[in-house]
Structure 1
């Protein structure tokens, strides 16, 4: 099959986990004998409307687009609204020469539905939506968008277009599937599609101590958070953990990424004198993997107000590197059972600060415990979250 994969960010410049996930999915399809083109936003000032490039034998079509992150909510909303329009202008003649047999698109963003509909109409093919972000619902839950407002109606329109463009929808967990089907009944063809990773992608451990030498972390147990630093993650939750661990002299917290709460993290580190916490800006995927290979514990956090059941993609990178997982979730999130049933980490409900701190102290104190739990996390990856499994599910649906 000749497949299109559409996402709102891409390698080599992206630091987002889903950009890596889509690249690994494309690589798996190619291994199976298919051809793949990844369609994604390029840069605002690129000379041509469409730039073509190759990474690891995967073809990328990058269309001219405004920036989507780090430039304010209003500007981002405008640029995301224009995604389908800008992409269609760039690719419409190309897909006449290279018609697709299937379209796979990833949400977020919520704004690719119009593009997918146009490609389907032009190529008479099926589409598969990888639904990871039930926007705008989470933003309403967080109080960022007022329920019933014109802004909600605006985003709800594009959400409905996004869903209606799909022939099949893969949701990231059983409870997310239940939430979605309860709301939409049998309107869409849905099933569970877990996040995935290349289980053979572990970064070679060279034995050097670059990270520890650079930041003076020799002898420290490094608690690492990498990825989006935003409202949905409730970074204040992780900062409270770091504060409660100030007296644990061998523990250090390393946060890396970009997002709406970077300023909050910076100001909290300064105002509370969190000398056990370091904030780093986003890095390339290669550098990110190198850092992952040198840290000890993988952190994540989800806002307590979430109603959906998110499975952060960053967990897969932690599992690849056999890191024990320490996380905080919204009440009832089925991620807890997935991790704790196989002893791959400690998962607490956001707000259980004392229990969260005790779990962190246990991991900081016991190297053998970290190894045992980390090995369990790696085995969990291989059994349930492999890229081979995801590719099989998607292709079976597109061929049905």
Structure 2
């Protein structure tokens, strides 16, 4: 099949997990004999449309305003224009036989317009990879008010996005149940997050070890990598960092970007944390190398979530056979998935004593870290491989 893959952020410049996942999906579908075209925005180009190849994948980049690392109002405006700008750029390049199927990724919720136009011209089905129940989570977090004009605005585009999908893939059973309780008459299924199962086997000669760079050669490193925002409740992890100061060789490394970067650095300064380092986002290759050096993979989800996210960062930890330590919102089936497979230690956000106890166990017990890490890799291969995701998407498109 000739497939259009649509996402709001893509490699090589993106540092986000979604971009990495979509590129791995593109490569897997390409290896299965499909012709892949990725459609994605860029604010760093002069032409309306720029075409390039990355690892054999054709990428159409259309000019659009910046939507990452900008203010909320500017981001909302630029995201609203995604479909309009995309169609204006690619309209003349899309023929009736250009595509046999569309795979689009949310976030963003603003792809409904472009998907509708491509479907109409090419008479093809579409599959929505739904990873983020926006605007529901920002309502849960109290960032926007339920019933407000801005909620109605986002809900309109959310519905438009869902309406274009022949099949919608949600990341967990609980997310599927929640979605179907709110949204009726959509064809939905569970589509787990995915990753390539190949770990980083070697490093470039010029790569400087993160342990050497930060002078933490002999430390047990607890690592958080990815978005640092309201949805993650980073204060939850910072409380753990503070408690873990009792262990001389425990060190916490956070790498990423988002609305709560200022908060975590302010807390580190306020609490005089000597066991903590923060670095801004790095490219995917360096991120993978850093993962190969750490000991424990961290994550956190806000207690206010009603949705049940499976953070993509966990897959990177699992690829490198790392034990997973973290907190989730109540009812999140991720807790049972990880704990029941003995792949990590997960607690409800707010159970600070339990989280600290688990962190202490992982700090002290190398064999426990190894056991949980091996189980995490096994779980990845069994349930979260990119091969499984590609097969499921093919079926969803009717192939």
1:158-307 map, 5 Å: 158-185=157-184, 187-204=185-202, 210-307=209-306
SS in 1 for 2:281: coil
Deviations 1:274-313 (A, max 9, x none): 1111110001000100111111100000000100100000
Query: Which runs of no fewer than 5 residues in structure 1 stay unpaired?
Result: none
Query: Which runs of no fewer than 5 residues in structure 2 stay unpaired?
Result: none
CA contact (8 A) 2:227 2:258 kept: yes
1:117-196 map, 5 Å: 117-185=116-184, 187-196=185-194
Cα distance in 2, alignment partners of residues 14 and 265 from structure 1: 23
Displacement of 1:209 in angstroms is 7.2
Matched, 1:316 2:315: yes
Deviations 1:12-51 (A, max 9, x none): 00000010110010111111111001111112x4121011
SS in 1 for 2:269: helix
CA contact (8 A) 2:200 2:289 kept: no
* Runs of 4+ residues deviating >2 angstroms: 201-209
Cα distance in 1, alignment partners of residues 64 and 202 from structure 2: 36
The RMSD of aligned alpha carbons is: 1.3
- In the other structure, the counterpart of 1:351 is 350
Cα distance in 2, alignment partners of residues 203 and 340 from structure 1: 28
Matched, 1:16 2:23: no
Alpha-carbon spacing, 1:285–1:298, altered in 2? closer, same or farther (3 Å): same
- In the other structure, the counterpart of 1:80 is 79
Deviations 1:123-164 (A, max 9, x none): 100000000111000000000000110000000000000100
Displacement of 1:206 in angstroms is 8.0
Matched, 1:33 2:33: yes
Displacement of 1:203 in angstroms is 4.4
Deviations 1:159-186 (A, max 9, x none): 000100111000000011111112223x
CA contact (8 A) 2:96 2:123 kept: no
- In the other structure, the counterpart of 2:67 is 68
SS in 2 for 1:257: strand
CA contact (8 A) 1:4 1:100 kept: yes
Displacement of 1:269 in angstroms is 1.1
TM-score normalised by length of structure 2 = 0.98
SS in 1 for 2:28: helix
